[in-house]
Amino acid sequence: MPAYLKYISHFCAVLTLLTGVSFAQTPRAQTFEPLLAAAHRTPSNVVRDPFRHPAETLAFFGIQPHHTVVEILPGSSGYYMEILAPWLKDKGLYIAANRDASLPQYIPDHQKLLKRLQDESALYGKVVVTQFRADHHPIAPAGSADVVISFRNLHNWMERNELQESLKTFYLALKPGGVLGIVDHRGRTDQSQSAQILSGYVRQDVAIELIEKAGFKLDASSELNANPKDTKDHPEGVWTLPPAYRMKDKDREKYAAMGESDRFTLRFVKR
C-alpha cells in the first residue's frame, strides 16, 4: 500500500476511535481510492480527505466513468474536480458550472479557475465550463447530465431565496432518472431553519422537503460525512471550523480537534 493510502487509512481509524463513526470501504469506493493518491492533487485538498471521504461519497452518488457529471461551483480549489475531471475525460464529461458575473466578489476566483484549466490542460483540457446562478443559465444541455453534484452550497441559495430556481436548473439538466447529489452542513433539529440560516447550517428534513418539492425523490441518505463532535453553536457559525477558521488563532486548537462540520449526504433522483 502506498504511504499516502496508509496515512489515510490510519487517519480514518483515528477518527473512528474519536467519533464512533466508521468509514469502511465498499467495493465501489475502492474504484476511486487510487485517484486520491494522484500526484497532481494539491496538498490543501489532500488534508481535507479524512473529513470529506471523497471515494465513498462519489461511490454513494453512483458516478461511472462514462457519465456526464456537472459539479456546481467547484471554484478554483477544485476539490472534486481534481479527482473527477481526469477520471472522466476519456469516456465521460466533467462540467464545471461555475460563477457568472452577477456576484463581482467571486470573479477573481472564477478567473483563477479558468487559468488553472488552461495551465493544466493535460488534466483539464476537456473540462467544459458553464455559468451558474439560480435559473439564469443552463448548466448543461437539457436532459444531458447523468449526475449533478453540489457540496456545501444549499445554505447560500436558501439565504438568497434562490434555492427553488437553482433546483429547477439542475432538474432541467438531468436525464430522466438522473442523480442529484447533495452534501451540506447539517443543522440542529431543536431550532428553526430561519434561526440558523446565517450560521451556514441547514436542517436535513427541511432540505429534503424543499428538494422533493422541486420534483426530485430522495433515493438514499448516508452518514459518511457525519461529525457528532460538531456542536453547531459556534461564534462565527460553520465558518468557525476548519478549513475556514474565521476566528483565526482564537481557540484554533479546540476547533481543529472538532474537525469539519457535521454534514448530511443525500442522493436524489429526477422523477
Residue found by looking up cell 463581482 in the block: 104
- What's the CATH code, domain 3-270? 3.40.50.150
Q: What are the counts of helices (DSSP H) followed by strands (DSSP E) for the chain?
A: 13, 7
> Quick one: CA torsion of 203, 98, 215, 269, rounded to 10 degrees?
-90
At residue 166's C-alpha, the angle toward residues 162 and 170, to 5°, is 170
The per-residue pLDDT for range 125-165, each reduced to its tens digit, is 999 999 999 999 999 999 999 999 999 999 999 999 999 99
- pLDDT for 22 beyond 90: no
pLDDT of residue 214: 98
Query: Is a pLDDT exceeding 90 seen at residue 234?
Result: yes
Rounded average pLDDT over 173-200: 97
pLDDT at position 204 is 98
Element (H, E) at 95: strand 93-99
- Cβ within 8 Å of residue 94, ≥6 positions away: 69, 71, 81, 84, 85, 88, 126, 127, 128
State how far the Cα of 158 lies from the Cα of 189, in Å rounded to an integer: 17
User: What is the chain's mean pLDDT, rounded?
Assistant: 92
Q: Which pLDDT score is estimated for 20? A: 37
19 has pLDDT over 90: no
* Domain spans, the chain: 3-270
The closest of 245, 239, 242, 235 to 260, measured between CA atoms, is: 242
d(CA 262, CA 104): 30
* Per-residue model confidence (pLDDT) at position 29: 85
Beta strands in 119-225 (DSSP E): 128-132, 145-151, 174-185, 216-222
